[in-house]
Amino acid sequence: MNNGLRHLAIIMDGNGRWAKTHGYIRSIGHREGVKNVETIIDETYSHGIEFLSLYAFSTENWLRPKDEVSYLMELMDKFISSKSLLKSLKIHRLVVSGCLEGIPANTANKITNLVAQTQNNKGLVINMAINYGGRDEIVVAAKALAQDALDGKILPDEITETALHDRTYNAFIPNIDFLIRTGGDHRISNFMLWRIAYSELYITPTMWPDFKAKQLKQALDDYYSRERRYGALGAGR
């Protein structure tokens, strides 16, 4: 079967542990992790991939210590204002999955403006999961379906996987082909549950700040060596 890769997703984990390993405070790890995002955006585009989803801030991240959350918000603002990102967004398109409610107003406005300004760009689609939870996304889509049913726009028998998908965040984005998790933990962490039903998974112990072009190439080589079956038997079996 065709194992072409259109949509790459990354759970960017290990910033805090990277900092501890190097004798730094956690905030330094987060800072280095943000710097690495720009590197991976460029590398992803160079490999001809169309969509890149990045787990930037989960709904569960609000439970972290307040000073750490505040620092993450500051980093997010600096990242979306950085010259290198703004240069990338002259060709790439930025979209957001999640809810910007709770994000500092100035930062949320900057993100909203970038989404609007880049919507016609033809480069890589960068899907930033911000204040995002996979279960929340499914609930949002289910509520939209329920409202459409109440309004008489759809009958119960017409509710299909496609109907639900069409009501998820950024429905034009296809299912995830390849999901990378850095930092070595073997869990999904409530990330894009609807779109990973048959994603190929790649877990690496490399912490996110150290996941560079070389490591991405190794992961992609591993992906292209696989045969994707989508639940069916492989050839000759």
The residue with tokens 């998974």 is 201
Catalytic-role residue among 3, 61, 121, 175? 61
Three-state SS across 66-99?
A: HHHHHHHHHHHHHHHHCHHHHHHCCCCEEEEEEC
- CA pair distance 218, 71, nearest whole angstrom: 32
3 carries an active-site annotation:
no
Catalytic-role residue among 13, 136, 177, 210? 13
Sheet holding 200-203, edge to edge: 93-98, 125-132, 51-58, 7-11, 178-181, 200-203
Write the single-letter amino acid at 162.
T
61 carries an active-site annotation:
yes
CA distance from start to end of the chain: 14
Residue 185's CB is within 10 A of a number of other CB atoms, namely: 14
Catalytic residues: 13, 61
